[in-house]
């Protein structure tokens, strides 16, 4: 569980729940934070999920992101597909930094990965398309 609001562009792992309801996003997935810290809105942030699998039909609300360094397995692909039509506002209890193992004392180690500003702008354009507001992408 996170104890701080991550910066937009931070990659986290989100547990969408044990009882998936199709066609909503399901299982544990890497996500990108898209919302800034807002006043009087603690414990929540907006995210878009990513997948290592290319969509069957690529749409304007999809984009690819290069991940450097790669996330730990099973998300260790150097490129992921952003599914920007599946925006979710989730509680921090669903979010963790990617874990990389344990140190010599048994304490968990975490990886902090943030995508570039250009990549984040590409995600924002895809989000607008996913909301049916693609005409606003010229403003990003």
Q: Which residues lie below 8 Å from residue 12, measured CB to CB, with a gap of 6+? A: 2, 6, 30, 31, 33, 47, 95, 96, 97, 98
Q: Which stretches of 1-140 are assigned E, i.e. beta strand?
A: 10-15, 28-33, 44-51, 62-66, 79-83, 88-91, 95-96, 99-102, 108-110, 113-114
Residue 130 has pLDDT above 70, yes or no: yes
127 falls within a domain: yes
Number of structural domains (the chain) is 1
Residue ranges making up the domain that contains 29: 10-139
21 falls within a domain: yes
**Average pLDDT of the residues in 115-125:** 97
Write down the mean pLDDT value for the chain: 92
Element (H, E) at 119: helix 117-130
118 falls within a domain: yes
80 falls within a domain: yes
At 41, the pLDDT band (50, 70, 90 cuts) reads confident
88 falls within a domain: yes
1 falls within a domain: no
52 falls within a domain: yes
Whether a cis peptide bond, with omega within 30° of 0, leads into 23 is yes
pLDDT given at position 104 = 87
At 118, the pLDDT band (50, 70, 90 cuts) reads very high
What tens digit of pLDDT does each residue of 72-108 get? Answer: 999 999 999 999 999 999 999 999 999 888 888 988 8
pLDDT given at position 20 = 65
Question: The domain that contains 37 carries what CATH number?
Answer: 2.30.30.110
* pTM, full prediction: 0.92
**Average pLDDT of the residues in 8-33:** 86
pLDDT given at position 27 = 85
5 falls within a domain: no
């Amino acid at each position: 569980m996170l104890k701080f609001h991550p910066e937009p562009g931070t990659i986290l792992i989100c547990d969408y729940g044990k009882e998936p309801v199709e066609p909503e996003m399901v299982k544990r997935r890497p996500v990108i934070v898209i919302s800034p810290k807002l006043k009087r809105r603690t414990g929540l942030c907006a995210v878009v999920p990513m997948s290592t699998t290319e969509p069957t039909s690529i749409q304007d609300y999809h984009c690819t992101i290069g991940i450097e360094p790669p996330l730990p397995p099973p998300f260790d692909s150097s490129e992921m597909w952003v599914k920007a039509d599946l925006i979710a506002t989730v509680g921090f209890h669903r979010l963790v930094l990617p874990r990389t193992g344990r140190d010599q004392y048994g304490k968990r180690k975490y990886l902090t990965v943030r995508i570039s500003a250009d990549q984040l702008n590409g995600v924002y354009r895809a989000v607008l398309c996913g909301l049916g507001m693609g005409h606003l992408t010229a403003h990003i």
